[in-house]
Structure 1
Amino acid sequence: MSDDIQSRGPTRDASVVVARDSDGLVALLSAHFPRHDGEFLFLPGGRREDGESPEQCARRELLEEAGITAVVWRSLGSYAITLDSAARVHLFEATSLTCGPQQLTSAEADFKLSWWPMVDAVKAAVQGRFLLPAGPLALLLASE
C-alpha cells in the first residue's frame, strides 16, 4: 500500500490484502519512498472508492497493484486508522489466486511484486521493513 493513507490524512477507509498462493507464499510489494528515505515492503491495498465495500476495495487493489484475482476471501478484521478518525483499515486474506499483469498507475510504476514464505514476511515485519502498520498486522493475523 502506498503511503497516501498518512500523507492525505485518514478520511476514508482502506483495505489491505494478504494474498497466499497454493504453496503458501505471500505476495509482497516493494518500492522506494523518498520521503521516508528507503525501500519498504507493503501488502497490496489502498483507500476505498465511493460506493465500494471493504472487500470490493481489497479485490480492486489486489488486481491493480499485484495483478492478482482471488476466489476465496477471509476477513481478518479491521482497526481504526487513528483515534481521531472514524476511518478504518480492513484486513483480508485472499487464496485460490490467479496471477496476471499489474495495472499500476504512474504513481505506482515502481511497485515490484515478489513472493515470500510467510515466515520470512513476518520476519521482515519484525525487522521494521514495512513503512505502514497494516501490513505487519495483517501478516500476523493471517499466519495464525
Structure 2
Amino acid sequence: MADRETLVYRGKIIDLYLEQVTLPNGAVAELEIVRHPGGAAVVALDSENQVCLLRQYRHAAGGWLWELPAGKLDLGESPLTSAQRELQEEAGVLATRWEPLGKIISSPGVFTEVVHLFLARNLSEVSASAEAHEVFEVHWVPFAKALAKARAGEIMDAKTLVGLFRADKMSIEM
C-alpha cells in the first residue's frame, strides 16, 4: 500500500502512478507503477495435439512474436470469460473443456498486470473477429514443435513460454 500516490498519466489501457512507499526494511522509495487490469491467455490444443500460436506484430517489441491467444480483462470480466472471448476473437474457436494453468505477474518491478493462463480442449470452429489494431496470423503447430521453439528461444513472449511449459507439465501428470 502506498503512503502517497500521484496519477501521472491515464490511458486507454494503463495508468501510470508515482507512489511513495515504505519498504519492509523501513526505507522510503518513490516508485513508478503502471496499473493494468490484467489479462488472460489460452493454450488451445486440438484433437491432433496442435496448439494455436499467433504470429503477431508487436511494435513495442520491434516486430513479430509468437504468442498464445490472449488479451486484457474487460471491466467486470472474469479471467475465464476473457480467455473464452479472446480464443473466439483471435483463433476462431470455442472450447468445452477448460483447465486453469495458474497465473503470472508479467513484470513485478513496475506493472500490476496479472495474466491468468488456461488450457482449452474439445475445440470447435466459429468465426473469428479480431480487433482492427491487431495484426497477426493464426498457426496450428504440433505441441512438441511449439515446445522445441520455446526451448530454442524462438518464442520470447513470457505468457506463451509459461503457458506452454505448464500445459506440458499438466499433460505429463494426467
Q: Check whether TM > 0.5.
A: yes
- How many residues align? The count is 138
CA distance in 1, matches of 2:125, 2:64: 24
Structure 2 spans left out of the alignment, 5+ residues? 1-12, 17-33, 170-174
Which residues in structure 2 correspond to 1:1-144 (within 5 Å)? 9-84=34-109, 85-108=111-134, 110-144=135-169
1:82-128 CA distances to partner (integer Å, 9 max, x unpaired)? Answer: 324443111000000011232111111x3111111111111112233
Provide the rounded CA distance (Å) in 2 between the counterparts of 1:20 and 1:91: 14
More strand by share: 2
Larger Rg: 2
Contact 1:10 1:82 survives alignment (8 Å) = no
TM-score by length of 2: 0.72
Question: Which one has a larger percent helix, Structure 1 or Structure 2?
Answer: 1
Rounded to whole Å, the distance in 2 between the matches of 1:11 and 1:36 is 18
Stretches of structure 1 that go unaligned for 5 or more consecutive residues are none
TM-score scaled by length of structure 1? 0.86
